[in-house]
């Protein structure tokens, strides 16, 4: 039985060594070949002095070397830190310094931009460069190693001893406000999460999963862990346009596809081949608008759709079985296998049916906290509600900060993030509820509602909407739709029509904080 996340590839290589495991462009690796690549990276990291539990950062776009380096670090007994390839040099350097990265894996092109920012990374001693290595002005004491020269020790070096409670990975959440937080995940977290997700998605060895999301995002990393556990094939893609995804699905006979709502909105506007191979679609990272959901069901009738909710601090929390989609299209479902999800009031007491409260997740998927940040860890990781009074050490759960409600049958419904909720004249307004009305008015490709400071209301609701191609919408028509469907306090005070895409954070979600800041500037001038 696999105890460590790196065991997945080795076990699948034993079961089916010639089965296709990983595709990147023209390169196709069987499980036997991928297992050898992982072994090469594991031995190379050990040869270059990686210690038990020390951090290895991988700052690359999705490619075969990225996957092999991540799993090779775990195999060696080190901790992998996947760094989002969209991040800039200062953001990357902050992550490297924050978790004391010892070895960095990157490309020559990325290193050229990053090198000047590495001076503050005191723990860094080795940079492994893929592709054509060129001279870089690295800090004193940091050595440059071409990936092509990675050694395989003879005899092999001994891996560091591990147990499943040891740290396997640190995933940094996007820092739209302040610096990013490093969520610390154990092997147990990753292995349990993969088994749970693979079970309810019914993953199997003949699945072909398209890896669209960043591997630094827990949702994106999950595509790898569930596939390798199941012996399925992962196809890596660094797409430029949503249409590239549609082409890749057809070309590679993809059966599983995961995305976040902004991307699903774009994909729902495209033409898809009639004879499709997709077996399932998954959504997480926010509520999927009903208009996009309906379009996907029409375009891809053979694909089952799983609406899910997850948070990096617990990897994944809920899913809605496709059989419930017709009756509960707005639900995020029930707890995934081997997890319990509760909805509680601020004092920890359970909410009544349909009473909004905070989602609290308990179980084996709960992360170990935030790296190097005891204060924020204490805020989010707290004793589980209703714990056994006789336990000398309380069980720690994740208090998500997200507001949900649970119906009488135990199905959960997303209301909003506590820090995204808009407070108008004492009322708490969910952005999602306003956005659903905007989408329902028709002609809208994507929309976001945010709160802006207001001298008398506390906050006023502002909406930014992007029209569909050739659609004719106006702020007045959308305001009228809101007046018909919403109580007065929920009607946006401002609606802006925008003809370019809404800003995204590195994980592909709409960056509400940036949007809020952009809207606040003209608002402040107006009030002045």
Query: What is the tally of structural domains in the chain?
Result: 3
End residue of a domain, out of 374, 390, 417: 417
Tokens of 127: 């940079």
Strand, coil or helix: what is 170?
strand
End residue of a domain, out of 390, 417, 444: 417
Residues 11, 145: one domain? yes
Strand partners for 413: 331, 405
CATH of the domain at 456: 3.30.300.30
CA distances 48 to 107, 144, 443, Å, are 18, 11, 57
- 227 contacts: CB under 8 Å, gap ≥ 6: 203, 207, 209, 233, 234
pLDDT score for 153: 61
Query: DSSP letters along 441-460, please?
Result: TSSEEEEEEEEEEETTTEEE
277, part of any domain = yes
pLDDT score for 426: 64
Beta carbons of 336 and 196 less than 8 angstroms apart: yes
197, part of any domain = no
CA atoms within 13 A on the CB side of 463: 31
pLDDT score for 135: 66
pLDDT score for 1: 66
pLDDT > 90: percent of the chain:
70
227, part of any domain = no
Mean pLDDT throughout 313-324? 94
191, part of any domain = no
User: How does residue 427 score in pLDDT terms, banded at 50, 70 and 90?
Assistant: low
Lowest-pLDDT range of 72-81, 133-142, 155-164, 359-368: 133-142
Residues 18, 113: one domain? yes
What value does the mean pLDDT of the chain take? 91
105, part of any domain = yes
pLDDT score for 321: 96
Reference 384, options 396, 376, 392, 393; nearest CA is: 396
pLDDT score for 359: 96
pLDDT score for 289: 85
Instruction: Note the pLDDT tens digit of each residue in 429-478.
Output: 878 889 888 998 999 999 999 989 887 777 899 999 999 988 889 999 99
Mean pLDDT throughout 493-520? 88
Instruction: Note the pLDDT tens digit of each residue in 405-416.
Output: 999 999 999 887
Q: Is the pLDDT at 152 greater than 80, yes or no?
A: no
CATH of the domain at 37: 3.40.50.980
Strands, sheet with 79-82, edge to edge from the N-terminal-most edge strand: 143-146, 126-130, 101-107, 55-59, 79-82, 167-172, 182-186
Residues 396, 256: one domain? yes
Residues 283, 372: one domain? yes
CA distances 376 to 322, 381, 398, 417, Å, are 36, 8, 12, 17
CA torsion through residues 465, 468, 473, 477, sign? negative
User: How does residue 527 score in pLDDT terms, banded at 50, 70 and 90?
Assistant: very low
CATH of the domain at 310: 3.40.50.12780
Range of the domain at 369: 239-417
- pTM strictly above 0.75: yes
Residues 377, 460: one domain? no
Instruction: Note the pLDDT tens digit of each residue in 42-87.
Output: 999 999 999 999 999 999 999 999 999 999 999 999 999 999 898 8
Lowest-pLDDT range of 61-70, 316-325, 450-459, 493-502: 450-459
Residues 44, 168: one domain? yes
Q: How far apart are CA 426 and CA 160, in angstroms?
A: 56
pLDDT > 70: percent of the chain:
95
């Amino acid at each position: 039985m696999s105890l460590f996340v790196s065991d997945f590839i080795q076990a699948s290589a034993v079961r089916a060594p010639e089965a296709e495991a990983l595709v990147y462009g023209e390169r196709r690796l069987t499980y036997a070949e991928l297992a050898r690549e992982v072994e090469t990276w594991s031995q190379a990291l050990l040869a270059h002095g990686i210690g038990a539990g020390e951090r290895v950062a991988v700052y690359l776009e999705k490619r075969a070397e990225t996957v092999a380096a991540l799993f090779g670090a775990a195999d060696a007994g080190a901790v992998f830190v996947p760094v989002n390839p969209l991040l800039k040099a200062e953001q990357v350097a902050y992550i490297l310094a924050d978790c004391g990265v010892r070895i960095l894996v990157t490309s020559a092109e990325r290193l050229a931009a990053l090198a000047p920012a590495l001076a503050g990374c005191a723990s860094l001693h080795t940079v492994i460069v893929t592709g054509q290595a060129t001279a870089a002005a690295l800090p004193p004491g940091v050595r440059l190693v071409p990936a092509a020269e990675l050694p395989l020790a003879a005899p092999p070096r001994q891996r560091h001893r591990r147990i499943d409670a040891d740290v396997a990975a640190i995933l940094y959440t996007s820092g739209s406000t302040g610096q990013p937080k490093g969520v610390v995940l154990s092997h147990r977290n990753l292995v349990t999460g993969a088994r749970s997700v693979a079970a309810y998605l019914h993953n199997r060895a003949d699945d072909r999963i398209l890896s669209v999301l960043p591997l630094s995002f827990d949702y994106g990393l999950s595509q790898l862990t569930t596939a390798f556990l199941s012996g399925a094939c992962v196809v890596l893609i660094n797409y430029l346009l949503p249409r590239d995804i549609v082409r890749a699905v057809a070309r590679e006979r993809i059966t599983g596809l995961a995305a976040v709502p902004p991307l699903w909105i774009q994909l729902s506007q495209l033409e898809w081949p009639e004879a499709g191979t997709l077996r399932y679609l998954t959504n997480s990272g926010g509520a999927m608008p009903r208009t996009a959901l309906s379009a996907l069901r029409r375009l891809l009738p053979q694909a089952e759709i799983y609406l899910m909710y997850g948070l990096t601090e617990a990897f994944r929390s809920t899913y809605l079985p496709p059989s419930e989609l017709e009756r509960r299209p707005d639900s995020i479902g029930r707890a995934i296998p081997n997890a319990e999800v509760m909805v509680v009031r601020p004092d920890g007491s359970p909410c009544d049916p349909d009473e909004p409260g905070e989602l609290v997740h308990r179980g084996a998927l709960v992360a170990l906290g935030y790296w190097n940040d005891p204060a924020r860890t204490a805020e989010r990781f707290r004793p589980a509600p209703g714990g056994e009074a006789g336990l000398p050490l309380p069980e720690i759960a994740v208090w998500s900060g997200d507001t949900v409600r649970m119906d009488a049958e135990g199905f959960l419904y997303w209301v909003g993030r506590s820090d995204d909720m808009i407070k108008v004249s004492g009322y708490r307004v969910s952005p999602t509820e306003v956005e659903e009305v905007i989408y329902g008015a028709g002609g809208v490709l994507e929309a976001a509602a945010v709160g802006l400071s207001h001298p008398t209301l506390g906050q006023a609701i502002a909406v930014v909407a992007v029209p569909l191609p050739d659609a004719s919408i106006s702020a007045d028509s959308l305001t009228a739709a809101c007046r018909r469907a919403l109580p007065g306090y929920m009607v946006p005070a401002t609606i802006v029509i925008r003809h370019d895409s809404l800003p995204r954070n590195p994980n592909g979600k709409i960056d509400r904080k940036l949007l809020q800041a952009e809207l606040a500037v003209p608002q402040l001038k107006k009030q002045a």
